[in-house]
Amino acid sequence: MASRGRGTIIFTGATASVRGGANFASFAGAKHALRALAQSMARELGPESIHVGHIIVDGMIDSDAVRGKFPEEVDALPPGGMLNPDHIADAYWAMHAQPRDAWTFKMDIRPSVERWWWDKILTKRSSRTEF
């Protein structure tokens, strides 16, 4: 990318990238570190016209795997409660396509509904051994 004088590197994070949560210390530590790496790379590579961004994807992604593994949780979601993979891809492409004079470093992608339902799901699942 540096030899071509252009490029995009996008890291995927989660809310744990910016805020730790109970019972998720190792995940939060890893995601914090990933975000710090991305910030450092953005400052180092930006002058070489390489856009580095960090996108927080916060929510259940609508897929066969999620629907198969968490059927009760999916059924409990309100309309608009899952993230459409095509729409996530659109957001990544939008970050990639930004002009150099208006680069975004951080973007959050989340469903349009409030998080109360997700907190309920996590509380219910944390008492189970398979979570």
CATH of the domain at 38: 3.40.50.720
What does the pLDDT read at residue 77?
Answer: 87
Residues 105 and 114: their CA atoms lie apart, in Å, by 24
Residue 2 falls inside a structural domain: no
What does the pLDDT read at residue 123?
Answer: 64
Residue 26 falls inside a structural domain: yes
Residues 38 and 104: their CA atoms lie apart, in Å, by 12
Residue 80 falls inside a structural domain: yes
- Structural domain span for residue 20: 7-126
Residues 105 and 110: their CA atoms lie apart, in Å, by 17
Residues 46 and 126: their CA atoms lie apart, in Å, by 41
Residues 78 and 63: their CA atoms lie apart, in Å, by 16
Residue 36 falls inside a structural domain: yes
Residue 93 falls inside a structural domain: yes
Q: What is the mean pLDDT of each successive set of 10 residues along the chain, which is 131 residues long? A: 94 92 90 97 96 95 95 88 96 97 95 68 57 43
Residue 118 falls inside a structural domain: yes
Residue 131 falls inside a structural domain: no
Beta bridge partners of 12: 55
pTM of the model: 0.82
31 closest CA partner among 8, 49, 3, 57? 57
Q: How many domains does the chain have?
A: 1
- In this structure, the number of other CB atoms found within 10 A of the CB of residue 81 comes to 19
Residue 1 falls inside a structural domain: no
